[in-house]
């Protein structure tokens, strides 16, 4: 139609810019920008004409340029502990859905519970000047988060609170969750409890352990044994269970796995070793991921309201983006017990 299109397919044409649109439409670039950003400022006829040209030329706004002027990216970054764990992807989906209502894209990064990868992702998000950041911190990132905040990025901690009252957080009460899980095992008459989870230093896990210990302390004759794992996946559960079985002087009669992936691994190892679940050893997991219900022996678990966790996190983040001076707030959600066959014949 115009000479511009002669550059056409084949050779990697320079992208169409506002300038091209303006030239073709016979208006100034400012007007093109206004059509895009404040359409009410432009007369109907100009607007429609410009829109038609945009469509004809296949113009797509360059977000980098826009951001550079606007000062910040409208995307939100999220650092997730483990993308392969359905619990986290469910939380992320809760976030994503809420953010979609504000037309803000979510950029997901996976720390894999590794402090170095977490750093790299924070670098990336800082370079990108994301407007908001959701983290489940692994390493000591407080100074880092402060710098991000000072630079104008809203920060909200997900799934644990920070050791500081400067940032909002949403978390589930893990001490209560740990207590609920073990209290249930004790109520079933179990006394020799083993806790399988890790790694050491991961707050969520430590709290679950503390809750477990509190429940055990309240019960005569009950004992709690700790098996520390690395990243909590099924393999960690298998190894943990094998360790417990190898040492057969004092076999537990119940295992509390710090998440469902570990519980599933424990279940596999016990089944393979011919140990009957729950008769000889009961198992309870944590998170209540969808797969818990369809496990070989349906798994009892402590349910975390994961979609709600995501939604509340997104809400807090949006509120902080809109008002950076907003007071920090720690939201604590409650876990609940889900009983299935792995703890109850």
Partner DNA sequence: CTGAAAGCGCTTACAG
Residue ranges that bind its own copies, judged by CB under 8 A = 9, 12-13, 15, 58, 60-68, 73, 83-84, 86, 89-90, 92-93, 96, 105, 107-110, 121, 123-124, 126-129, 146-147, 150-152, 234, 264, 267-268, 290-291, 293-298, 324
| Pairing between β-strand 301-303 and β-strand 336-338 as defined by DSSP bridges | antiparallel
Contact 225, 251 (CB under 8 A): no
Nearer to DNA, 61 or 146 (CB): 61
Nearer to DNA among residue 41 and residue 326 (C-beta): 41
Q: At what angle do helices 115-128 and 142-150 cross, to 10 degrees?
A: 0
- Tell me the closest approach of the beta carbon of residue 159 to its own copies, in angstroms: 17
- C-beta of 56: minimal distance to its own copies in Å? 13
Confirm if 155 and 149 have CB atoms less than 8 A apart: yes
Q: What minimum distance in Å lies between the beta carbon of 132 and DNA?
A: 18
- Among its own copies, DNA, none, what does residue 293 contact (CB within 5–8 Å per kind)? its own copies
SS3 188: coil
Contact of residue 41 among its own copies, DNA, none (CB under 5-8 Å per partner type):
DNA
The residue among 216 and 309 lying less far from its own copies, judged by its C-beta, is 309
CB of 103 to its own copies, least distance (A): 9
Give phi and psi for 158, each to the nearest 5: -115, 135
- Name the minimum Å distance from CB 126 to DNA: 11
Question: Which partner from the list its own copies, DNA, none does 268 bind, CB cut-off 5 to 8 Å by kind?
Answer: its own copies
Q: Would you tell me which residues interact with DNA (CB under 7 A)? A: 14-15, 17-19, 26-34, 36-38, 41-43, 45-46, 59, 61-62, 65-66, 68-71
Q: Measured from the CB of residue 154, what is the shortest distance to DNA in angstroms?
A: 18
Q: In whole angstroms, how far apart are CA 290 and each of 87, 253, 295?
A: 9, 26, 9
Q: Where are the beta strands (DSSP E) in 81-222?
A: 106-110, 130-135, 154-158, 168-172, 192-197
Q: Is the dihedral of CA 219, 222, 226, 231 positive or negative?
A: negative
Q: Whats the size of the chain, residue-wise?
A: 345
Nearer to its own copies, 134 or 176 (CB): 134
Q: How many Å apart are CA 77 and CA 75, to the nearest integer?
A: 7
Name the minimum Å distance from CB 5 to DNA: 17
Comparison of 99 and 170: residue with beta carbon closer to its own copies: 99
CB-wise, 30 or 201, nearer to DNA?
30
Minimum distance, C-beta of residue 56 to DNA, in the bound complex (Å): 15
Residue 324's binding partner among its own copies, DNA, none (Cβ under 5 to 8 angstroms by kind) is: its own copies
Q: Both ends of the chain: CA-CA distance in Å?
A: 76
* DSSP code of residue 107: E
Q: Which two tokens stand for residue 344?
A: 């109850």
Contact 160, 169 (CB under 8 A): yes
Query: What residues are paired with 301 via a beta bridge?
Result: 338
Q: Which is nearer to its own copies, 6 or 60 (CB)?
A: 60
The encoded tokens of residue 153 equal 């990025």
Q: Quick one: DSSP state of residue 327?
A: P
Task: Closer to its own copies by CB, 174 or 260: give it.
Answer: 260
Please identify which residue in the block is written with the tokens 């089944």.
271
């Amino acid at each position: 139609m115009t000479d511009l299109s002669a550059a056409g397919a084949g050779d990697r044409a320079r992208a169409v810019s506002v300038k091209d649109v303006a030239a073709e439409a016979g208006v100034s670039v400012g007007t093109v920008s206004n059509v895009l950003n404040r359409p009410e400022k432009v007369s109907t006829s100009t607007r429609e004409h410009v829109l038609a040209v945009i469509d004809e030329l296949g113009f797509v706004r360059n977000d980098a340029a826009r951001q550079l002027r606007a000062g910040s990216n409208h995307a939100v970054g999220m650092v997730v502990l483990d993308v392969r764990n359905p619990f986290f992807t469910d939380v992320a989906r809760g976030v994503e859905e809420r953010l979609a209502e504000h037309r803000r894209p979510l950029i997901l990064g996976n720390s894999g519970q590794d402090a170095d990868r977490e750093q790299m992702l924070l670098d990336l998000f800082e370079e990108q000047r994301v407007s908001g950041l959701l983290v489940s911190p692994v390493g000591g990132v407080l100074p880092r988060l402060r710098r991000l905040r000072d630079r104008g990025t809203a920060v909200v901690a997900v799934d644990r609170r920070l050791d500081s009252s400067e940032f909002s957080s949403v978390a589930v009460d893990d001490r209560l969750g740990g207590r609920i899980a073990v209290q249930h095992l004790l109520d079933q008459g179990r006394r020799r409890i083993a806790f399988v989870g890790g790694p050491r230093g991961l707050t969520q896990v430590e709290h679950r352990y503390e809750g477990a210990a509190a429940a055990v302390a309240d019960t005569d004759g009950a004992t709690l044994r700790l098996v520390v794992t690395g990243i909590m996946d099924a393999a960690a559960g298998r190894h943990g269970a094998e360790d417990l079985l190898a040492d057969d002087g004092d076999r537990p009669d119940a295992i509390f796995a710090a998440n469902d992936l570990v519980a599933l691994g424990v279940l596999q190892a016990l089944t393979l070793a011919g140990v009957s679940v729950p008769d000889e050893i009961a198992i309870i997991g944590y998170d209540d991921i969808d797969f818990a219900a369809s496990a070989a022996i349906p798994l009892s678990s402590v349910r975390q309201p994961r979609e709600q966790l995501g939604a509340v996190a997104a809400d807090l983040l949006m509120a902080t983006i809109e008002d950076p001076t907003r007071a920090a707030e720690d939201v604590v959600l409650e876990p609940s017990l889900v009983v299935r066959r792995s703890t109850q014949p």
